[in-house]
Structure 1
Amino acid sequence: MFRKITGVAMYGLAALWLFPLVWAFWTAFRPRELAISWTLSPDFTLDNVIKVWNTAPFAQYYLNTFLIVTGVLAVQIVTATLAAYAFAKLRFWGRDALFILFLVQLMVPADILIFPNYNVLRDLSLLDTKLGIMMPYFASAFGVFLLRQTFKTIPHELEEAARMEGCSWWQILWRVYVPLARPTYIAFGLVSVSYHWNNFMWPLIVTNSVENRPLTVGLAIFAQSFETGAQWAEVSAATVMVIFPLLLAFLLFQRQFINSFIHSGVK
């Protein structure tokens, strides 16, 4: 009986979570006069998406977001891999204490650091640049923690065998640890991409031009504009255009995403 009640509650919560997503898709592909109507009819159209694409520079927003997300992820993978290997396999004085201090970053909300980060970028003349958006996120405590947990599960004998074959520490890291941690990299990649794809406050503060504005800021400006503020069909179509790549990525990699957290020991 308890198991049935739990199942019903889970399905109910899932339906509650899916409702805004279904409503956004339903509104985005309906004619404007039927946008907020739940009348079942075969009237669907792509006119809303086409109008949004032609009205606002979403192509530029997509390019900016792609460059920002991939740039941050590439640097994070390098820094997190090197730091995780050091914390997991190297022995040095104060390693555990330093790792605990490093994880304190997880407890510091990113919004608290907006003011000092803004001052640093101003002094470096990096305001309203893609690099300025990316710089505060080049190091990830979460990525270091996740990869460290995975590296600790890899037998040390594999590293010793690689050393006997004449591999350097860099070759050991690239040929032994990185391939075995592939599910963890996928999971961290999804977390990093989704966070920076949806990041809004920091890009809103440091960008002023279309050439550097990401999708989230562009969507907010589009939705609040005088011409489109009350046009639910166009706003919903723009929202679907922004979230669709993330939904597709999660559907493709959801199994690796779940397995990585199981294998890394994160409960």
Structure 2
Amino acid sequence: MTQKLDTIGAWLLGILWFLPLAYTLWAAFHPAAYSTHFDLTAPLTLENFAAAWNAAPFARYFLNTFILVTMVLAAQLILSTLAAYAFARFEFRGRDFVFMLVLLQLMIMPDVLIVENYRLMSWLGVRDTIFAVGLPYFASAFGIFLLRQTFKTVPRELEEAARVEGANRWQILMKVYVPLARPIYVAYGLVSVSYHWNNFLWPLIITNSVESRPLTVGLQVFASTDQGIDWSIITAATLLSAAPLLVAFLLFQRQFVQSFMRAGIR
């Protein structure tokens, strides 16, 4: 009985998730006259995508977003790996207290720090840059916690064997710990890329020009016209923005699921 209820609940949640996507697909591939009502005889069209692409500098927005997510992910992986290894294997005074401070960051919503982050970016003189959009997220408490828990499961015998072979700490980290945590890196990378690809509020506040705006902020141009809202063009622009993530998931869904399963097991 419990299993049946779980299945029904999963189907209901799946339907609720799919309905907005179904409407987005319908409105994007049909003329504006059919964007608010369903008609099987409605003609298909790609003009909405062409109109959306020409209405905003999407090429620049895509480039900015790609640079942003790549920069943030690279910084997070490097800093999280080094910090997690230190917390997992080094003995130093105040280690547990410092790690507790890291965990406290998980309880703080990023939006709470917007004012202070804005002041810091102004003081550094980097407002309205892609670097300013990503800088507050370079250090990830979640990444440190996830990798620290993973590194602690690695048998110390492997590290001792590598040390006997003449490996230093850097080589031990890169050739023993990092390869064993590869599924965790993949799972965390997916979370990080998805979050920063879709992040809106902070990029909206810190950027003012096309040269530094990511896709999510660029989409607001379609909702600020004097001619009213054209849902066909808005949904087409939304699909253009989400297409890279959707394609990546469809191509690598097996690896995605396996990575999250292994991350959960650890």
TM-score, length of structure 1 as denominator length: 0.94
Aligned twin of 1:156: 156
In structure 2, C-alpha distance between the alignment counterparts of 1:257 and 1:149, rounded to whole Å: 20
Aligned twin of 1:127: 127
In structure 2, C-alpha distance between the alignment counterparts of 1:81 and 1:145, rounded to whole Å: 10
Q: Does 1:177 align with 2:167?
A: no
In structure 1, C-alpha distance between the alignment counterparts of 2:85 and 2:104, rounded to whole Å: 19
Change (3 A) 1:266 1:98: farther
Q: CA contact under 8 A between 2:56 and 2:221: conserved in structure 1? A: no
What does 1:220-239 align with in structure 2 at a 5 Å threshold?
220-227=220-227, 229-239=228-238
In structure 2, C-alpha distance between the alignment counterparts of 1:162 and 1:109, rounded to whole Å: 41
After superposition, the C-alpha distances for 1:8-56 in whole angstroms (9 at most, x for unaligned) are 2211111111110111111111122222222224722211111111121
Question: Cα offset for 1:249?
Answer: 2.8
Determine helix, strand or coil for the equivalent of 1:93. Answer: coil
Q: CA contact under 8 A between 1:65 and 1:214: conserved in structure 2? A: yes
In structure 2, C-alpha distance between the alignment counterparts of 1:181 and 1:67, rounded to whole Å: 25
Sequence identity (%):
56
Change (3 A) 1:253 1:140: farther
In structure 2, C-alpha distance between the alignment counterparts of 1:192 and 1:148, rounded to whole Å: 17
What does 1:88-103 align with in structure 2 at a 5 Å threshold?
88-103=88-103
Determine helix, strand or coil for the equivalent of 2:106. Answer: helix
In structure 2, C-alpha distance between the alignment counterparts of 1:128 and 1:87, rounded to whole Å: 35
In structure 2, C-alpha distance between the alignment counterparts of 1:100 and 1:90, rounded to whole Å: 16
Determine helix, strand or coil for the equivalent of 1:119. Answer: helix
Change (3 A) 1:35 1:172: same
Determine helix, strand or coil for the equivalent of 1:40. Answer: coil
Q: CA contact under 8 A between 2:222 and 2:229: conserved in structure 1? A: no
Aligned twin of 1:241: 240
Question: Cα offset for 1:88?
Answer: 0.9
Aligned twin of 1:30: 30
Q: Does 1:146 align with 2:140?
A: no
Question: Cα offset for 1:219?
Answer: 0.4
Paired amino acid for 1:11? W
TM-score, length of structure 2 as denominator length: 0.94
Aligned twin of 1:200: 200
Worse-superposed segment, 246-255 or 164-173: 246-255
Paired amino acid for 2:58? F
Gaps of 5+ in 2: none
Change (3 A) 1:259 1:93: farther
Q: CA RMSD for the aligned pairs?
A: 1.8
Gaps of 5+ in 1: none
